[in-house]
Structure 1
Amino acid sequence: MLNEFDQNPVDVERRELRILNAFAVELIRIPSERELARHAACEVVSALGFEDCAFYFLNARGTSLKQVAFSRRAAGSPPASARAVSDIPYGRGVVGRVVLTGRPVIIGDLSRDPDYLSDGVAMQSAICVPIRSGASILGAVICRDPRTRAFGPSHLELLETVAALVGAKLDLFRQTDALEESERDAKDILDNLKDVYYRTGADGRIELVSASATELLGYSNEELLEMECRLLYAEHQDEDRFIEELRRQGGTVSGYEMQLRHKDDRTIWCSVSARYRLGGDGEVIGIEGIVCDIDQRKALEQNLSRALAQAEMANRSKTSFLAAMSHELRTPLNAILGFAEVINSEFLGPIGNPKYAEYIADISTSGRFLLDLINDLLDISKIESGAYQVDLTTIEAGGVASECLEMMRAKAAQCGIICSLHGAELPVAVRADRRALMQVLLNLLSNAIKFTPRGGSVTVALSHIGSGMAEITVQDTGCGIHDSMLPNLFEPFSTIANDPRIAQEGTGLGLAISKSLVTMMGGTIAAESRRGSGTIMRVSLSIPETLDVAESA
């Protein structure tokens, strides 16, 4: 080895330094990992005088070590690279042990080392050091000698220096490969990005833009690069508004909608999410963001807006028509009902034929039903058109409920139903419109009586429920409502499927009108029911503020 040819330690050291310096310089031009290992193995043997040298690199998964290069001094010939041997499993053999522990070893007698994997060549001693990059182990280099105890500290120092130089170059290769792969990935992403990515400098010029910008704006990437962003805005002041919004939101905006100008001069609606690009000292050096094409969505929104406006106009026309027709129909209908009542009472003489009396009764019943329907249509038309106004005042809920019960008591008695009022003794005052509240309660009581069989009961109850609210409930013991019908119960023309034995039908407007009136009074209405177990209607209204404060005190 080297110190055998030159016994002067100073000369040996100088020669070693020259060799290592030349080796380091030569590494600069080496183009690949395999060439790096081959050159290093040959230099260790030829220049530094080792008998043989092998370089092993960890595979990408870190599961095995592959011999990348091997060089041996042959008798009477210069050192040459030999073919690679089989891979070494991670942790096996002397090389595997060094890579596993990260510590170099000098083995004076290989025959006594249980980890040594012989290749059939008579070698007695070995030295092996890890190849590092920072804290990472990339592989190992091993040298052997046919003599026992052929290696010492000076050989270890030389081989560690070589391993350090190889590790640095190997790390550079891998960083370069990772950077190139990252750049390729970034380019692939930009080239295949559906939305447009862009990056500008502090001067507002485009520095980077994805290929999708060509499809969106019509310009080629070459035309867009170095173009001022302001030239792409539909109006120049749009840029000022966007920059101001970006500044106002602390340097980040999401979903900002604006119009950009296509190369053919048409405008395109876009949604922009962007942020400031900051330099090392925190100064703004540009903007980067994503631009999404929302032109079709905007067109759909505009079409929808026009359709809604047309629907609203049609609804107003329908409401006006219903209101006008209701007035026109009520006049002759009142006359029909009036004459039917005169005939039925035989005011001008006996009817004569009993069958005529049945006909008159049917006319009167049908007329009243039709009049109720017309009144409901008129009410809901007024509500929908905004013509129905409520006058909110402080009302004693017990008095209104008692009055409504009294008005419905005769009808309940005819049906064999008992009506009662609970909580009338409580001072339950609510903020409501008296006429509207009476209409709501009469609707609820009418439904409760209608769908409760003979012998049942209807109960109105008053109570305070906290949070400045009072509640009026109307509970019956009738047929109840199926769960599937509850969600649409308060929709117009929604009728309850009743027991077939109950031959009564409603217009389907009473509950819709009640909900609208309660909502106009600032309250809520809800239903609780189960088929065959009756129904509870809950009307919640606010308590006047003065009473609320007094109760809290």
Structure 2
Amino acid sequence: MTMTAIRTQVAALVHASVLPNSLERMLHERFILTRLLVGAVALGLVPAYLAWRGTLGTLEAVAVIAAALPVLAVVVLSRTGRLDIAHGMSATALAMLIGAMSGMTGGATSPLLLWLAAIPAEAMFFGGRAYVVRASAIAAMTLLVVIALQYFGMFAEPASWPGGAMPVFVMVAILQSMALAAGFLRRRESELREHRASDARAQLLLDHVGDLVTWHDANGAVIFANAAAKALAGAEPHELFGRGLLERVHVADRPLFLKALSDVAHGRGEATACFRTLFIPRGAEHQGHLPVSLWLEMHAHRVANIGAEAAGPRDGVAVVCVMRDVTARRALDEERARGHAEALKANDIKGQFLATVSHELRTPLNAIIGFSEMLSTDVQGWLDEEKRLEYAKIIHASGHHLLDVVNTLLDISKIESGTMTIEQEPLDLADVAQDCCVLMALRAETGGLSLERIIGPDLPQVLGDRRALKQVVINLLSNAVKFTPAGGRVVLAVVRDGDMIDLSVSDTGIGISALDLPRLGDPFFQAKGSYDRAYEGTGLGLSVVRGLVGLHGGRLTIESAPGIGTRVVVRLPIDGVASASLPVKIATFARAPRRGLETKVPFRMTA
């Protein structure tokens, strides 16, 4: 039978529990093969020995039993998969054989006792410290038993050894030692090959995993990284060793990263953290590329550092981290958070809309209902003609106010939905300014204000929508008149500045605080506004202005300070715009605390 066939038969005797573990399977196969060979040789010599000796003595019977025990150990190993029990039986059999042969060759003075040292030496092939300790105890017990039997005279008189016998025993011991050493070296080489193959398979698997896998010592230094380091950290794996990975973690996230590693190494054994890496792509250092920022989610676990059993508890600990790119997921979460915030804001705006519009519509509706009832129920003619005319005018004014509110809401809706369009035609802004001042003159006079108009020289015609620009000016003048107390001044100025026209409305009114400036232009917002505010209005005027100025491709600037006044500047291109645009951003400035329309201090920008 060839060696391949023998190995095949031996492999069939291995217990199923160790088949998945290649190293354990190899140890079991080696144990079964050697014990079967030793047992077969020993038992094969028994018939020849019996033919020569005739009958067996006590020690000879013990030796025969010891020769058969390795075969029994093979049966136990094949049935149970317990290599420790089978090896204990095999070591006991070898000790019994040596003890019996030493008893036949001089007892405690027999040089065969030297072979007891081979028992713990042979245990190194099949296990660790526990195997060696067990085998040493068996060898020591055997030596004590032989010495005790010698002391009580249980052995025959020591045999006289010829002079050449000792060299023979020494040579046999040397040969056995060489065999043990060769076997040990073969085992180590086989284990190293298996480990290299296992490491190669693991490395190949890790290099094809999209996640970054790193191995850290107890101090957090990287001692291994897979090929994903190129994509997720912008470096070769060896460049992450030591502090290489930490240097590529965003500075703001480094404390979180280090704390997670420390908690795993010295605390609860596992942790999760989410941090950013920041790096310049490889090969792009001198090409002006911006750094790449990625969000990584790290799962860290503590493991026993293989081969560090003799080290201290801190040195014998390692941390394995698996890091996954979650940049897209973070962006989606942030988008959802923004959507949620916008939904909450929209809900707040809706509530503010209902409250503001209800407040704004209630007064004129009450006037219309009340005075119309008085007119319709005056069947006795108690109201004279003058009262009837006065009530009719109030109803008419209230109806126009309601119509203005509804038209403003419709304009806002069109602007925000992008359906608002303008008709561009040449027009004279000086005429527009004059018309608007005429319309607002009565309100200014009623409020005790001075309404002035300044028109610059050589004003060209502007391409724009007359109705829309007139609405812009009226809204700005209306706000200025509304928030300027009696005795104040409102100035409308139209001047040219290069290829732009500056249309500004300045007042000496109550002004706007620095905290309220950024919110100007938000729908339904009115500085220091509340449901029972002193100044009526929907807060939609500047929202409409923003949209209409944006449709004309213009810019809008507001500067103000409490108690100083407000100046709103609309800059319009003379040649108009090619297409409609979104509502314009408002640049806001806080004025210096002194009078003077021209003095301002930059405050902040707002949409």
- TM (norm. structure 1) is 0.41
- Pair member with larger Rg: 2
When you count helix as a share of all residues, which structure comes out higher? 2
TM-score by length of 2: 0.38
Which is richer in strand? 1
